[in-house]
Amino acid sequence: MRPSGRNLSQMRPISIETGVMAHAEGSCLIRVGNTHVLCTASLEETPPRFLKGTGLGWVTAEYGMLPRATNTRNRREAAAGKQSGRTQEIQRLIGRSLRAGVDRVALGERQITVDCDVIQADGGTRCASITGGWVALRLAVNRLLKAGVITSDPIMDHVAAVSCGIYAGQAVLDLDYAEDSEAGTDGNFVLTGAGRLIEVQMSAEGATFSRDQMGQLLDLAEAGMADLVAAQKAALA
């Protein structure tokens, strides 16, 4: 039995509320169970310096957690004067994941920055950030299309992410913190709406895992993607 009482292949409740920030080109608040992330997309009409003259656009991301997103207060990284290695790793993952679903030629020489701020954490914050970040990005691109700034849609497919792991010897979908902290194997799967893999992060936290178990986790991730993409579509409808 999972601590939450969910079935092995059951996602936590998912909701995505759009238009939550008045000034951002795209924004949403995504809730996956008790993990809540505020995602905003901000447009700049100039690309990064290294892309000037290439005709290519850029999508990047920043990630952070509020001090009381967890059960104890974490010091603000700005106060510490530097980002943690974890923060840097997660925001690079978010940026890579979102860029994989974008035709950078169609985007043109401009940059969209997706900010993901964790309001409340209960496991799976990077996955919720990618899933909600895509919605914010989609909304920002919709503005460009509506204004006629670009004529071809640069977004090629949905992008979302979900965690899976081996908990109490069983493959489970969408780990919350109670499961994540005790999982023998932990994995994060980033996929497109068509089921194409963008990135897989898997590690043996307490015990090694077999190839068969890896396949079980991928099967669960593909099932979870259906729920995530449905939630993205509902939010944008």
The answer for residues whose C-beta is within 8 angstroms of residue 97's C-beta and 6 or more apart is 130, 159, 161, 190, 198, 199
Q: Please report the pLDDT score of residue 207 as a whole number.
A: 82
**96 is an annotated ligand-binding site residue:** no
CA-nearest of 11, 10, 2 to 170 is 2
Query: How many CB atoms are closer than 10 A to CB 206?
Result: 10
> Could you report the per-residue pLDDT of 33-79, keeping only the tens digit for each?
999 999 999 999 999 999 999 999 999 999 999 999 999 999 998 88
Q: Please report the pLDDT score of residue 115 as a whole number.
A: 98
**124 is an annotated ligand-binding site residue:** yes
**86 is an annotated ligand-binding site residue:** yes
Identify the bridge partners of residue 160 per DSSP, sorted by sequence position: 191
With pLDDT > 90 as the criterion, what percentage of the chain qualifies?
94
The answer for residues whose C-beta is within 8 angstroms of residue 79's C-beta and 6 or more apart is none
**125 is an annotated ligand-binding site residue:** yes
Contact in structure between 16 and 36 (CB atoms under 8 Å): no
State how far the Cα of 149 lies from the Cα of 196, in Å rounded to an integer.
Answer: 29
Quick check: helix, strand or coil at residue 230? Answer: helix
